[in-house]
Structure 1
Amino acid sequence: MTSTRNAPAGTLPRDDSTRVVLRPRYEGSNICTWIGFKHVNYLVEEAVLDHLRQRGFPAGELYERYGICTDITEIDTRMWTAYHIDDVAVATVRQAEGPGQELRFVVEMIADRGKPVRTVTAKVGVTLRKDVRGFPAEPVPAELAALVVDRIGTPQEPVAASGDDVIAQLTENRNAFGWSWRVPYPYCHFTERLQMSGYLRLMEEAVDLFLADRGVSIHTLLSEQNWIPVVPSSSITMLDEVGMEEEIHTVFTVENVFKRLTYTARMDCYVRRDGVLRKTATGTITHGYAVIENRRDWSQVDFDDRLHGALLGDGATS
């Protein structure tokens, strides 16, 4: 492996950006031909990994030779316009300044609509985590030595909870929905840890389950009103590591309903360790709603009384 620049320890080359052409995955085309927020974030992930590859630090080689795991630990994405399945996404990535040992990047994406149109802007944090499974490894490259950590995040302060009904305690007196689930192997990487794409799947599932619990499931509004949820922004930050087959307690809390246009909810994830709950991740997602006009176009609509009341959690109609 060779670096593209001679950089001091703890830094990567910052004097130029990289560019990569990507296409959305077919799996993400759930409603008509539009790409959901999760797969938009997958494009952001791929752009950052390609940036590291072009800078001389491909994730595969970092792991296989040096025992370094490349973990995306923070992703904050703004979606300005929708991607369609056959679109070409042109992503530009540059490194940004940031505190601590986490690498930070800014991603800007455009699509061709007869002229370049801004589609996505994102801020991404990457942690280089030492693999501790015991296999031999070469010395870490000097440019990266000060960036490698033994563990992602830091153990969080314990959250008070007793007994078996953790979800009831975490959601009590809050406009929230929660459930517990076991981390499956396909949501993990580097053999044992939950990865960012797993949290993105979890956030998508949290929205789906929350809406169904409130009587306004995605299928219900699609079949009755031709409405779909649309996402202008989302963010997730890992606070601590989670291992395969650990049980995560997930709480989805509506924090703000802005007029009848959008609502913002927070997702918090906890695990029980040594008899106490500790938060492992937090994130937010903002939704509006749109009516499908034809196979390609949609337009935003105001929340009606049923949806507005469901989001408020009290049956309110104004």
Structure 2
Amino acid sequence: MTAAVEPTLTKALLADTTTVRLRPRYEGSNICTWIGFKHVNYLVEEAVLIHFAQSGVPARQLYEEYGLGLDVVGLDTRILHAFHMDDEAEAEVVPDTSAEDGTLGFRVTVRVDRDGSTLKAVTSKVRVSLRTDSYLDLPTEAPAELARFTVARLGTHEGAAEEAGACVAADAVLAAGGDEAAVLGALTEGRNAYAWKWNITYPYCHFTERLQMSGYLRLMEEAKDRFVLDRGISIKTLLDDRKWIPVVPRSAIRIVDEALMEEDLYTVYTVEEIFKDFTYTSRMDCYVVRDGRLTLTATGRIVHGYAVIENRRDWHLVPFDQRVLGALAGQPGSGS
């Protein structure tokens, strides 16, 4: 049964600009008082959620009344200036949804005050899908205005298609009954990559069953941590040796299928490019096993560099030396 059409239900959501004051969470300050990329993306997500609420369609109402789960399915974020603990930021959310789009789009700009000036600190492009609840055996009565943004399953929204890559060999290993180590080996063979398998836990999920965007952000952060540890240049190693910290000017993730609570997730982190000894770009691909084959559920890229801590307040970017370059490039023994 379809609910009666509300002609103005999406008017503000699709047309009005929302401005809100936000503060990064204390948890995101891991080194000195700087806020990591994951929590910067949390600010972006929070700004979009507030935009929905101020437009008259908060996430709670969408789910409880209409059976629609609000899922961020795309994030592409550039960090132009670092955030610090206790910063108060102003986030502006501008709707960016064309008449042909099957997802809700938003452009988010986050500004912060520095020494009497207001700086554009973050820009982000966000895509949102409304996913019909199928876990609870209850009727769903979504308004007609929201129909084109509504999907029965994440991954069927526009722009979700993605070549899996690196799965042919791993699928063959799975078909032959190979163990976890063999599958991980097949996923990384011939690539400058690190991979691991993890059972999806409850704190990473939402709407009762599925891995949410913030969970993928946490996985992307963990992937970097695991990769550099494996290469002999762990976060703590470079902190203790040189006072170097990782910095992230850009990150992007797209959800292309669903990953469910307590499924095994294979995550592959691959270094794709090292640019002028200052930054490197890595790709993260996440897979679950369906019908004996690996299915891609999310893919993304992250750009990393390093900065040296000058004091408790300041840092500046530094070029990679041969030890770090060799470790990132996968040269044996270079990270030791």
Judged with a 3 Å threshold, the aligned counterparts in structure 2 of structure 1 residues 199 and 26 are, in CA distance, closer, same or farther, namely same
State yes or no: 1:201 paired with 2:231. Answer: no
From 134, 137, 148, the equivalent of 2:136 is 134
Whether 1:253 aligns to 2:270 is: yes
Could you say which residue in structure 2 is the equivalent of 1:304?
321
Contact 2:6 2:145 in 1 (8 A): no
Contact kept, 8 Å, 2:6 with 2:143, in 1: the verdict is no
Corresponding residue to 2:286 among 253, 266, 269: 269
Spell out the pairing of 1:1-318 with structure 2 (5 A cutoff). Answer: 6=8, 13-97=13-97, 100-113=101-114, 114-137=116-139, 139-154=141-156, 159-160=167-168, 161=171, 162=173, 163-164=178-179, 165-315=182-332
Q: Distance in 2 between matches of 1:110 and 1:37?
A: 15
Identity %: 57
Given the two structures, how large is their TM-score scaled by the length of structure 2? 0.89
Q: Which moved more, 1:52-61 or 1:132-141?
A: 132-141
Once the two structures are overlaid, the 10-residue window that deviates more, 143-152 or 120-129, is 143-152
CA distance in 2, matches of 1:303, 1:133: 49
1:305 and 1:316 in contact (8 A); partners too: no
Secondary structure at the aligned position of 1:256 is classed as strand
Moved more, 240-249 or 13-22: 13-22
Q: Secondary structure at the match of 2:57?
A: coil
Residue-by-residue CA offset, 1:79-99 (whole Å, 9 max, x unaligned)? 001000110110000111355
Query: Secondary structure in 1 aligned to 2:135?
Result: coil
Query: What is the CA–CA distance in structure 2 between the aligned matches of 1:262 and 1:239, rounded to whole Å?
Result: 27
Q: Is the 8 A contact 1:156 1:278 kept in 2?
A: no
Q: Provide, for residues 237-296 of structure 1, a one-character-per-residue CA deviation record: whole Å limited to 9, x for no partner.
A: 001000000001110000000021000000001111111111111000001100000001
Paired positions, count:
313
**Contact 1:265–1:284 (8 Å) recurs in 2:** yes
Quote the Cα distance in structure 1 between the aligned partners of 2:327 and 2:19.
43
Whether the 8 Å CA contact 1:12–1:143 is kept in 2: the answer is no
Amino acid of the residue matched to residue 104 of structure 1? G
Q: Provide closer, same or farther for how the CA distance between residues 13 and 46 of structure 1 changes in structure 2, counting only shifts above 3 A.
A: closer
Q: 2:120 is aligned with what amino acid? A: R
Contact 1:71–1:128 (8 Å) recurs in 2: yes
SS of the residue corresponding to residue 267 of structure 1 reads strand
RMSD: 2.0
Question: CA offsets per residue over residues 64-121 of structure 1, 9 Å max, x none?
Answer: 1111100011101000010001101100001113554211110001001111101000
State the TM-score, normalizing by the size of structure 1: 0.94
The answer to whether the 8 A contact 2:306-2:317 is kept is yes
Moved more, 89-98 or 165-174: 89-98
**Cα separation, partners in 2 of 1:95 and 1:54, compared to 1, 3 Å:** same
**In structure 1, what residue type is equivalent to 2:48?**
V
Which residues of structure 2 form unaligned runs of 5+? Answer: none
* Partner-residue secondary structure (3-state), 1:14: helix
Determine if contact 1:230/1:288 at 8 Å carries over to the other structure.
yes
The question of whether the paired residues in 2 share the 8 Å contact of 1:156 and 1:240 is answered with no
The answer to whether the Cα contact below 8 Å between 2:67 and 2:141 also exists between their aligned partners in 1 is no
CA contact 1:5–1:13 (8 Å) conserved in 2: no
Taking the aligned partners of 2:137 and 2:288, their CA distance within structure 1 comes to 28
1:156-215 deviation line (CA, Å, top 9, x unaligned): 777322222211001001101111110000000001100000000000000000000000
Residue type at the aligned position of 2:122: V
**Amino acid of the residue matched to residue 108 of structure 1?**
T
Partner Cα distance (1:56, 1:278) in 2: 36
Q: Do the aligned residues in 2 keep the contact of 1:4 with 1:56 (CA within 8 Å)?
A: no
Please tell me whether the aligned partners of residues 308 and 316 of structure 1 are also in contact (alpha carbons under 8 angstroms).
no
| Whole-angstrom distance in 2 between the partners of 1:213 and 1:248 | 19
SS at match of 2:224: helix
- Contact between 2:211 and 2:259, CA under 8 Å: does it hold in 1? yes
Corresponding residue SS for 1:260: coil
Alpha carbons 2:287, 2:296 under 8 Å: kept: yes
